[in-house]
C-alpha cells in the first residue's frame, strides 16, 4: 500500500480566501504609488501601464500588464493607453522567451465576474508562459500547483529584460 504524500502550498490560501484586504483602495492602483517596485514585484512602469509578476501565478514567469487608469472597461482606455498595454505585453513575451524559453503562451484578459476576473474593477492582461506537460491533476484535485521557482527569484531573473526599457 502506498502512502499519499502532501505537497504544501500555504501561500495559495490567501488567494483562495479572497486575498489580502489593505483598505478600500484597488490593489492595482495602490501598488505602483508605493515606490517599492521590487518589493511589490513590479518590473516596469511606463506613463500609462505597468508590468508586475502575478503573486498567485499559474506558472513561473506569469506576468500581468495593467493600465494605471482604474477601469474595468476596455473601451474607457485612450488609444495611447491601448498602444502602451500592447507594447508592454509584446515586451513581456520577448522577455519571457529569452529568459524562460517557453514552448508557448496563454495571453488574455478576464473581464467581469462571468469572465472569471479575480479583480473585476481593474482590467489587466495575463501573460503565462507554457511548456508541454506543465499541467497535471494537482490543481484540479488538490487545489495545489508545484512551483519550482520562488517569486523573488523570478523577479531577479526577469528584471534585466525590463531595465532595457528605462
Q: Which residues contact 157 (CB under 8 A, 6 or more apart)?
A: 61, 99, 100, 149
* CATH numbers and ranges of domains, the chain: 20-163 (3.30.428.10)
Q: What stretches of the chain show up as alpha helix (H) in DSSP? A: 12-16, 27-30, 79-100, 138-142, 151-163
Flag whether the pTM goes above 0.85.
no
What residues are labeled active site?
124
The whole-angstrom separation of Cα 58 and Cα 127 is 10
Contact present, 82 and 118 (Cβ < 8 Å): no
Which pLDDT belongs to residue 158?
A: 97
pLDDT at 63: 98
What tens-digit pLDDT sequence spans the chain (166 residues)?
Answer: 555 444 445 555 554 455 544 435 899 999 999 999 999 999 999 999 999 999 989 899 999 999 999 999 999 999 999 999 999 999 999 999 999 999 999 999 999 888 888 899 999 999 999 998 877 554 544 555 666 788 999 999 999 999 988 7
Mode of pairing for the β-strands spanning 42-45 and 49-53: antiparallel
Reported as half-sphere exposure (CB side, CA atoms, 13 A), residue 5 has a value of 1
Classify residue 51 as left (phi > 0), alpha (psi -120 to 50) or beta: beta
**pLDDT (0 to 100) of residue 137:** 52
Closest CA to 43 of 149, 166, 150: 166
Amino acid at each position: 500500500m502506498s502512502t499519499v504524500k502532501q505537497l504544501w502550498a500555504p501561500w495559495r490560501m490567501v488567494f483562495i480566501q479572497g486575498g489580502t484586504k489593505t483598505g478600500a483602495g484597488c490593489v492595482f492602483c495602490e501598488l505602483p504609488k508605493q515606490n517599492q517596485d521590487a518589493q511589490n514585484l513590479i518590473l516596469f512602469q511606463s506613463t500609462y501601464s505597468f508590468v508586475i509578476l502575478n503573486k498567485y501565478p499559474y506558472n513561473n514567469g506569469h506576468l500581468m500588464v495593467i493600465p494605471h487608469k482604474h477601469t474595468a472597461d476596455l473601451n474607457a482606455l485612450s488609444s495611447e493607453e491601448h498602444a502602451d498595454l500592447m507594447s508592454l505585453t509584446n515586451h513581456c513575451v520577448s522577455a519571457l522567451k529569452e529568459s524562460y524559453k517557453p514552448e508557448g503562451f496563454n495571453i488574455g484578459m478576464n473581464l467581469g465576474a462571468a469572465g472569471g476576473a479575480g479583480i473585476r474593477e481593474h482590467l489587466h492582461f495575463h501573460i503565462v508562459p507554457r511548456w508541454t506537460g506543465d499541467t497535471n491533476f494537482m490543481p484540479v484535485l488538490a487545489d495545489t500547483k508545484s512551483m519550482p521557482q520562488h517569486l523573488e527569484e523570478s523577479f531577479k531573473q526577469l528584471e534585466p529584460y525590463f531595465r532595457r526599457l528605462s
